[in-house]
Structure 1
Amino acid sequence: MGFREWFGTEAKTIGIVQYDLLRWFSLVSVLIITLVALGLGFIASRFIVNESIQRDAALTAQFIQSLASTEIGTHHLPQHQMGEMLDPRADLVYANVTRSKRQVARREFLEHIENIARQPDTLLITIYAPDNVVIWSSNPALIGTKVIEDDQLNESFATKSRVFATYHDVVPEREEQKFPRPPKGFFIENYIPMLNASGDAVAMIEIYKEPSDLVARTQHGYILMWLATSAGGALIYLALYRIVRRASGILAAQQKQIMQNEAFVAMGEMSAAVAHSLRNPLASIRSSAELVQELAPPAFQRNVTDIISQVDRMSTWVRDLLTTASPSAATAEPVDPLAAIHGTLAAYQPQIRACQVDVELSLPDTAQPVVSQRVLLLQVLNSLVSNALEAMPKGGKLGIELSKGGDERTIAIIVSDTGNGMSDAQRKRLYQPFTTTKQGGLGVGLVMVKRIMERFGGSVDIHSKQHEGTRVELKLQLAG
């Protein structure tokens, strides 16, 4: 395996196991919020329905008990309760009340009950004696019958309190559910105990109602409740999604930075080994080549010159590796950007002439110093100008511009060329170490540029399009 291939393989092995936080949050949070919203919606809607039905049943019981109290007052029976008057079989028990007076009070009360039974939402009203015999019903066929098994009826007689039940279908086993008309759907059953003066339950009024208006209102409440629950769940999800998306972006950026740092650590270790292994041999080779150059005949001069050139090239690779992987503790200093630009152009004048490249400058007369190091800023500009010249081997235009940055504390150096540019795939791998499209290149030039710029609080932005050239914008912090 070659030198560069070894580096590329090593760099690819450095990384962190990816965890798609945003994807898993989206799936899990939607599931949890949906389940919670459905649960809350179901509980809340059931609570509203039960409360509404219970309230309606309680109001019905209060209304009937109010009618009973009114009839007792109308007939001047202060020592008695209407429950004592409802069973005709007990007319002779209460000797202090005449039979005719009891019958009149009972008849008038039952007329009120019958009026209630005629209401559209009432299915059936039945009155039971303590022995479970039907003493009156809006369905005459039930009068005189006896209910054998009715747990709710027995419970209401035993507890002397109202018992409430709901049904969605007629229960065949409930012999008292003989409705004059079948219910269309949901209906309720309400047992209302009628007490005597001693507080004992002496009669029980059973009312079956099909509260269509109440059902319509509860259905409307269902819709509002589900809409509110859905909207609340959606708002919670969107808010959490936005937070997690931002956190995921931050984690991805940090993860990317960690991967780059690990790659740079590997570069540092390898560059130290390369420098240790190659620096002295390269110096010996160059010295020997220079000695041979002085003694060799003209026919060998070109070959010796090539040897020296290639040795210098390898030395440059080693220096670039060391610069890229060096620790970021370098001390910043004020640097004149104009001097750095002119110094770079002066160093590359031979190559500029050889490539027949026209240089277009847009520079002010003076410029405020920037935060960097002179040697490192020169390396950045040298790398960019070298890349531009290599992209224009048959001529073109090299542009260098110095302008204000995005705010008052930054300045921008823009280097552009009219070379071949880069493809989309190449742009995506711009800052990957040891990745290059140049024949014999090492792939650390732009990595070095980015690392140096970030070291001093700056940034690098590259715009390139294939066959249209490349534009590199360096943003540096102003000194002072």
Structure 2
Amino acid sequence: MFILLPAKLRNLQAFSLTRWFAVVALASIAVIAVALAVLLDWFFSDRLLRQQAVLTAEFVDSLMRVEQPMLQFVAGSDPKASPHVLTALSHLAAMPDVLRANVYNRERMVIWSSDARLIGRQYRLNANLEAALRGEVRVQRDDDFVEHGVDEREAPRLQNGIFMETYVPVVMPEAGEVVGAIEFYKRPRALHQALQELHAYVVIGALVSGSFLYLALFGLIRRADQTMQRQREQLLDHEKLAVIGEMSTAVAHGIRNPLASIRSSAELIQDGPPELSQQSAADVISECDRLEHWVSELLSYARPMHAEQVPVVLLPLIEACLNDSRREFQRRGIEVENLVPASLPAVRGNALLIGQVLRSLLSNALEACESAGHIRVQAVLDESCRCVTVSVTDNGPGMSPAQLRCAGQPFFTTKPRGLGVGLALARRIVERLGGRLEIDSAPGRGTSVHICMPAHA
């Protein structure tokens, strides 16, 4: 037997926490690991380059304090470099890893260079040189150099390794005044090797730490997922037992009274006068029909529904449902008003299931109405969402707020001889067809049941 479980429990089965975590966590940890690796590599590379520049600036400052003639030459006090100054300047170009050295005065002119072709040139659009003349130490790599577009200085190009451009201010020791700047083009092989090792360590560290974090979390989530699956299975078992208990209670309660009536009628047939036998037999048939109706409702509610959805024209279907109950309406003196327009578009669904819903709603409205009651059936099209709403309204006593909250739940009924599955089955059918069922009721104002179904395109 198929037991209908709550939608939340049925949907929970399709969600795999382990599978989703395996994909989402892998992508997230990979992105974070790559971002951290790039950030750490940039940070330490930048720090090492700046440290190299600071060491170069300290060396130049010490040299200028010792070589006063060279300091005077840079400051412009001695416009012509003496052999001693030229020898001292050549020592700058002979520093380890230096490819070329340029000496600038305050007018941004190259007053000495290890490349004689550059002597006398003036550069006024160099941000690094301007910063050095303000007393700052600047350094940049080859990619930064190309990016700033200062290739007019004919810097040496390298096929591999890194290329550093360092700007060092020349400061008068006593006054603290910047009198010039020295520019170094370097190819630091040791620094390049250190940066390569740093890059490898950062990549390996990111891979190892990211893998460890992923595996640790994956194991934890997998265990949690298995625990949740076991708990879900237990919850499903409890829900099944609860539904079976409700159905058993409803069936036992519903069958007890008809069985008592059948037994009493059978005793009358057996022991009573002949004139009561025909009436007692009719009572037995009536109670058996009643039991058959309840069993049919239970079977309809319990079995799964798989129906192909096709265009369904509502007006003929509603008229057929009204004709099926017309004799009962006339017997009880209930007026039925059909306000469904002929121009109503077809809905997407199944005619047999929709007819079952309409018959159930009409039956509820019929039982809710007293003698000379009134039932109204109407339908409207909502153009905004392309949905057709069919409403069945009665002028019965209505429902209290507490009854309205429970209406539509399995095995809840306000009818003395009801089983409580008709409205629940109607709601289930409408939702399975992609629509919704709503109930509007208040004491003394009757009840309206609205079923909204998507219109066929």
- Say which of 103, 114, 118 aligns to 1:138: 114
CA contact (8 A) 2:9 2:236 kept: yes
Structure 1 residues 264 and 172: CA distance shift in structure 2, 3 A: closer
Where does residue 345 of structure 1 map in the other structure? none
Give the match for residue 115 of structure 1.
Answer: 94
Distance 1:86 1:14 in 2: 82
Q: If the length of structure 2 is used for normalisation, what is the TM-score? A: 0.51
User: How far 1:234 sits from its partner (Å)?
Assistant: 1.1
What amino acid is aligned across from residue 200 of structure 1 in structure 2? E
Matches within 5 A, 1:40-189: 40-72=36-68, 82-86=70-74, 90-91=77-78, 103=82, 105-116=84-95, 119=96, 121-157=97-133, 159-168=134-143, 170=146, 173-174=149-150, 177-179=153-155, 181-185=156-160, 186-189=162-165
Pairwise CA RMSD: 3.1
Q: Distance in 1 between matches of 2:36 and 2:66?
A: 44
Q: How does 1:74-473 map to 2 (within 5 A)?
A: 82-86=70-74, 90-91=77-78, 103=82, 105-116=84-95, 119=96, 121-157=97-133, 159-168=134-143, 170=146, 173-174=149-150, 177-179=153-155, 181-185=156-160, 186-196=162-172, 197-276=174-253
Measured at CA, do residues 128 and 10 of structure 1 come closer, stay the same or move farther in structure 2, by a change above 3 Å? closer
Q: Deviations over 1:63-95 (max 9, x none)?
A: 2222233334xxxxxxxx8432336x5327xxx
Q: Could you tell me whether the CA contact under 8 Å between 1:84 and 1:195 is conserved in 2?
A: no
Q: 1:14 to 1:240 in 2, by over 3 A?
A: closer
Q: Kindly indicate whether the alpha-carbon contact (under 8 Å) linking 1:71 and 1:105 is maintained by their aligned counterparts in 2.
A: no
User: Relative to structure 1, is the Cα distance of residues 30 and 261 closer, same or farther in structure 2, using a 3 angstrom cutoff?
Assistant: same
The aligned amino acid for 1:232 is S
Change (3 A) 1:189 1:37: same
Query: Counterpart of 2:205 in 1: which secondary structure?
Result: helix
**Number of aligned positions between the proteins:** 259
User: Contact (CA 8 Å) 1:129, 1:135: kept in 2 or not?
Assistant: yes
- 2-structure distance, mates of 1:161, 1:142: 23
Cα offset for 1:10? 3.7
Q: Deviation at 1:274? A: 4.2
Which residue does the alignment assign to 2:20?
A: 24
CA contact (8 A) 1:71 1:108 kept: no
Per-residue CA deviations over 1:190-229 (Å, capped at 9, x if unaligned) read: 1111112322111210011122331222111111111111
- What are structure 2's unaligned runs of at least 5 residues? 267-457
% identical equivalent positions: 27
Q: Is the 8 A contact 1:190 1:208 kept in 2?
A: yes
Cross-structure match for 1:414: none
Instruction: Name the CA distance, whole Å, in 2 between partners of 1:170 and 1:278.
Output: 92
Counterparts in 2 of 1:13 and 1:191: CA distance versus 1, 3 Å: closer
Counterpart secondary structure, 1:90: coil
CA separation of 1:138/1:270 partners in 2, compared to 1, >3 Å: closer, same or farther? same
In 1, Cα distance between the equivalents of 2:149 and 2:32? 38
Q: 1:86 aligns to what SS in structure 2?
A: helix
Unaligned runs of 5+ in 1: 1-6, 73-80, 93-98, 289-480
CA drift at 1:58: 1.3
Note closer, same or farther for the CA distance 1:242–1:176 as it changes in structure 2 (3 Å cut).
same
CA 1:260/1:150 → structure 2, altered by over 3 Å: closer, same or farther?
Answer: same
Secondary structure of residue in 1 paired with 2:203 = helix
